[in-house]
Structure 1
Amino acid sequence: MPAAVLPGIQLYSNATGVIPVMESLILKGLPIGTTLAFCMSTVAASFPEFTLLKQVMRWRLLAIIFVMLLIAFTLVGWILNLRTPFI
């Protein structure tokens, strides 16, 4: 799961722009939880997003938010991957 979240941070896309990428990943066989974690990290935790937030927040707060987002994305991905066979 972290292998899907970390590359997503380096990309920048809006929510509608990442949907075709998600579709192709799911069609290639990537689990839904991993795909969703990648999507969330691309949209919410990208470097351009944090560059804008740096103008109004301190480094410590940005680091806390960044770590919380990464943990949340990873946990959501793992939980969805565990529940997918039962849905």
Structure 2
Amino acid sequence: MQAFGFLSFGHYGPTGGAHGPDARASLHDAIGIAEAADEIGVNGAYFRVHHFARQAAAPMPLLSAIAARTKHIEVGTGVIDMR
């Protein structure tokens, strides 16, 4: 069996305001992308840790939300810095 996944890059949400992208929209978009990937048979969804973007500095809540809303996809992180 072939494995096919994706690694997130960038921000998924409108930019604007003094604090950058809208955190709520960014997280909802990431969940939506993972749900769509699960529906079409993608095996893995991996998310980068953006330490300076508050909505993506702690990936575990996002990964938990994705795991709760998908059936077959494996979730994980692309990189976690050990500070």
More relative contact order, 1 or 2 (CA 8 Å, 6+ apart): 1
Of Structure 1 and Structure 2, which has the larger fraction of its residues in strand? 2
Q: Which TM-score applies when normalising by structure 1?
A: 0.34
Q: Which has the larger radius of gyration?
A: 1
